[in-house]
């Protein structure tokens, strides 16, 4: 070995370029790499080197922390230096101790002392970049999985990444996002006024361990302009711009109604916009959609063809092949907008079945369509006109939102509020608003600002 590799940090005068301090942070051997493992630094060594470089920088920065005391805040007398205070700081990949100057009052009768810490100076001892990672992990995985994931990335166990801390932060950030979604969006956060807008509302169940309950319903909605549906390939479409909202609150739909209104506004809804509302037929979904009516020019609610197709499919599977043709025929008339005839066909089919279980399946489908007859349209005509009649099953679909987080672990015990909060982060990610919004929200949650 002829050479070694030194990592050096220097403190340099900007004006004179004179090196005033120079430290060797680490020395590595330079050897021929025998395998891919020897190329560069191993994972743990990278973190270790980063920690050392950060320590050197933080030592310089700590000395410059100005607490803003000109005189004793107690008696107004002069202050004198009084040693240093060691204080924690948690960076993204490393934990540090800051050395902050302490002061003491010169007046012996007063004896005031400052006890500065990272938290008293900055409001928190966690770097927001770490808090962001914790929120993202906490919104996608169980809090224990989030802890494990962060430990893996970090090559070490850090108390700051403990699952209870991740849970608490995720909750606070989610709660702030929820508050934010309740506020009417400012004009600069809204798309240019839309002529047409589509709003889909959907419900999904979140497992919960509450007294006498197995789950509760969360409602989600997604608003987008028809122009923002993009065909990726023959079978797949994506929505390039959308606002997704979700609520798990038990408040007679109050939260979700405000969320949906603000989501629609963000996507450009004005009093001149024609809104097409799509839902699966559940009455609470219609009620959310209908609440948009006073805020737009026209609201047309349509029973989502995607869900109709699914219902027919279910019944077909339950009834067996023998009934396939009759069901297809009923579906065909429905597709062509002849709802009455469809209902007659289903009723006839129901009367011709003797098996009680199968009979009730058909009755279920019949009643579903009947209850939603106000929202049945000529789907065939809409398709040939190129206008909306079915939801875009994107990643924003409620089941994938919930599944990503809430159905993963059966033993997870959600409270409504906890689930509601964590879903706010998911909704912001899906709406592509998280990247712009996380910093303010995370800082507010960490520092406790209003
Ligand atoms: Zn004093």
Residue 19 confidence (pLDDT) above 60: yes
Residue 424 confidence (pLDDT) above 70: yes
How far does the centroid of ligand 1 lie from the alpha carbon of residue 448, in Å? 29
How far does the centroid of ligand 1 lie from the alpha carbon of residue 73, in Å? 7
pLDDT given at position 393: 61
Q: Name the helix (H) or strand (E) containing 157.
A: none
Same domain, 190 and 207: yes
How far does the centroid of ligand 1 lie from the alpha carbon of residue 107, in Å? 6
What mean pLDDT is reported for the chain? Answer: 92
Burial class of residue 76 (count of CB atoms within 10 Å of its CB; 0-12, 13-18, 19+): exposed
Same domain, 347 and 281: no
Same domain, 386 and 436: no
Residue 328 confidence (pLDDT) above 60: yes
pLDDT given at position 1: 78
How far does the centroid of ligand 1 lie from the alpha carbon of residue 81, in Å? 13
Same domain, 234 and 258: yes
Beta bridge partners of 84: 101
Same domain, 309 and 298: no
How far does the centroid of ligand 1 lie from the alpha carbon of residue 83, in Å? 17
Q: Tell me if 287 sits within 8 A of 253, measured CB to CB.
A: yes
Digit-coded pLDDT (tens) for 21-52: 999 999 999 999 999 999 999 999 999 999 99
Alpha carbon distance 174, 337 (integer Å): 43
Same domain, 298 and 316: no
Residue 84 located in a structural domain: no
How far does the centroid of ligand 1 lie from the alpha carbon of residue 65, in Å? 21
Same domain, 242 and 269: yes
How far does the centroid of ligand 1 lie from the alpha carbon of residue 113, in Å? 8
Residue 420 located in a structural domain: yes
Confidence of residue 234 (pLDDT cuts 50, 70, 90): confident
Same domain, 297 and 310: no
Confidence of residue 410 (pLDDT cuts 50, 70, 90): low
Q: Which residue has the higher pLDDT, 280 or 403?
A: 280
Question: What is the mean predicted confidence (pLDDT) over 281-305?
Answer: 96
Residue 323 located in a structural domain: yes
How far does the centroid of ligand 1 lie from the alpha carbon of residue 67, in Å? 16
Question: What is the mean predicted confidence (pLDDT) over 228-255?
Answer: 89
How far does the centroid of ligand 1 lie from the alpha carbon of residue 215, in Å? 59
Digit-coded pLDDT (tens) for 136-150: 999 988 899 999 999
Where in the sequence is the domain holding 379, given as residue range(s)?
305-390
Residue 169 located in a structural domain: yes
Residue 20 located in a structural domain: yes
Same domain, 169 and 274: yes
Beta bridge partners of 79: 105
Residue 118 located in a structural domain: no
Q: Name the helix (H) or strand (E) containing 83.
A: strand 79-90
Confidence of residue 412 (pLDDT cuts 50, 70, 90): low
Residue 270 located in a structural domain: yes
pLDDT given at position 13: 97
Question: What is the mean predicted confidence (pLDDT) over 401-405?
Answer: 67
pLDDT given at position 403: 66
How far does the centroid of ligand 1 lie from the alpha carbon of residue 97, in Å? 28
pLDDT given at position 391: 85
Burial class of residue 212 (count of CB atoms within 10 Å of its CB; 0-12, 13-18, 19+): exposed
Same domain, 315 and 257: no
Digit-coded pLDDT (tens) for 98-133: 999 999 999 999 989 998 999 999 999 999 999 999
Residue 404 confidence (pLDDT) above 80: no
Query: Radius of gyration over alpha carbons of the chain, in Å?
Result: 30
Same domain, 219 and 343: no
- Please list the alpha-helical segments (H only) found in 40-197: 43-63, 118-122, 128-140, 143-154, 163-182
pLDDT given at position 63: 92
Residue 311 located in a structural domain: yes
Question: What is the mean predicted confidence (pLDDT) over 341-370?
Answer: 93
How far does the centroid of ligand 1 lie from the alpha carbon of residue 449, in Å? 29
Residue 350 confidence (pLDDT) above 60: yes
Question: What is the mean predicted confidence (pLDDT) over 295-308?
Answer: 96
End-to-end Cα spacing for the chain: 59
Same domain, 165 and 295: yes
DSSP state of 43: H
How far does the centroid of ligand 1 lie from the alpha carbon of residue 353, in Å? 93
Residue 411 confidence (pLDDT) above 60: no
Structural domains in the chain (count): 3
Say how many C-beta atoms besides its own lie within 10 A of residue 298's C-beta.
11
How far does the centroid of ligand 1 lie from the alpha carbon of residue 85, in Å? 19
Confidence of residue 237 (pLDDT cuts 50, 70, 90): confident
How far does the centroid of ligand 1 lie from the alpha carbon of residue 115, in Å? 14
């Amino acid at each position: 070995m002829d050479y070694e590799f030194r990592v050096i940090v220097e403190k340099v005068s900007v004006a004179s370029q004179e090196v005033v301090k120079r430290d060797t942070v680490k020395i590595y051997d330079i050897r021929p790499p025998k395998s891919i493992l020897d190329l560069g630094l191993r994972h743990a060594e990278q973190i270790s080197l980063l920690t050392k470089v950060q320590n050197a920088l933080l030592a310089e920065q700590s000395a410059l922390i100005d607490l803003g005391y000109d005189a004793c805040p107690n008696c107004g007398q002069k202050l004198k230096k009084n040693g240093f205070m060691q204080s924690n700081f948690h960076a993204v990949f490393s934990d540090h101790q800051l050395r902050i100057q302490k002061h003491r009052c010169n007046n012996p009768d007063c004896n005031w002392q400052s006890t500065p810490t990272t938290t008293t100076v900055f409001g928190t001892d966690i770097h927001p970049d770490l808090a962001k990672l914790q929120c993202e992990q906490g919104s996608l995985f169980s809090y224990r999985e989030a802890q494990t994931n962060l430990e893996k990335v970090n090559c070490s166990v850090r108390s700051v990444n403990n699952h209870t801390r991740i849970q608490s932060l995720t909750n606070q950030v989610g709660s702030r996002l929820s508050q934010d979604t309740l506020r009417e969006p400012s004009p600069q956060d809204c798309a240019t006024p839309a002529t047409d807008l589509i709003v889909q509302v959907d419900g999904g169940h979140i497992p919960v361990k509450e007294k006498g309950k197995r789950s509760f319903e969360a409602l989600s909605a997604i608003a987008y302009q028809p122009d923002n549906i993009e065909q990726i390939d023959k079978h797949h479409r994506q929505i390039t711009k959308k606002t997704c909202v979700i609520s798990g609150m038990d408040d007679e739909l109050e939260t979700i109604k405000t969320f949906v209104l603000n989501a629609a506004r963000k996507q450009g809804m004005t009093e001149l916009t024609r809104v097409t509302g799509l839902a699966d037929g559940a009455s609470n979904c219609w009620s959310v959609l209908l609440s948009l009516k006073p805020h737009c020019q026209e609201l047309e609610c349509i029973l989502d063809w995607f869900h109709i197709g699914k219902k027919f499919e279910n019944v077909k599977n339950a009834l067996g092949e023998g009934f396939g043709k009759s069901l297809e025929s009923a579906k065909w008339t429905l597709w062509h907008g002849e709802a009455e005839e469809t209902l007659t066909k289903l009723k006839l089919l129901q009367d011709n079945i003797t098996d009680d279980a199968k009979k009730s399946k058909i009755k279920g489908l019949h009643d579903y369509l009947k209850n939603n007859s106000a929202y049945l349209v000529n789907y065939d005509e809409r398709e040939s006109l190129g206008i909306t009649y079915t939801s875009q099953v994107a990643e924003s679909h409620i089941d994938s939102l919930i599944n990503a987080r809430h159905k993963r672990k059966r033993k997870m015990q959600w409270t409504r509020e906890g689930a509601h909060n964590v879903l706010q982060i998911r909704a912001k990610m899906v709406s592509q608003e998280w990247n712009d919004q996380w910093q303010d929200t995370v800082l507010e949650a960490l520092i406790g600002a209003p």
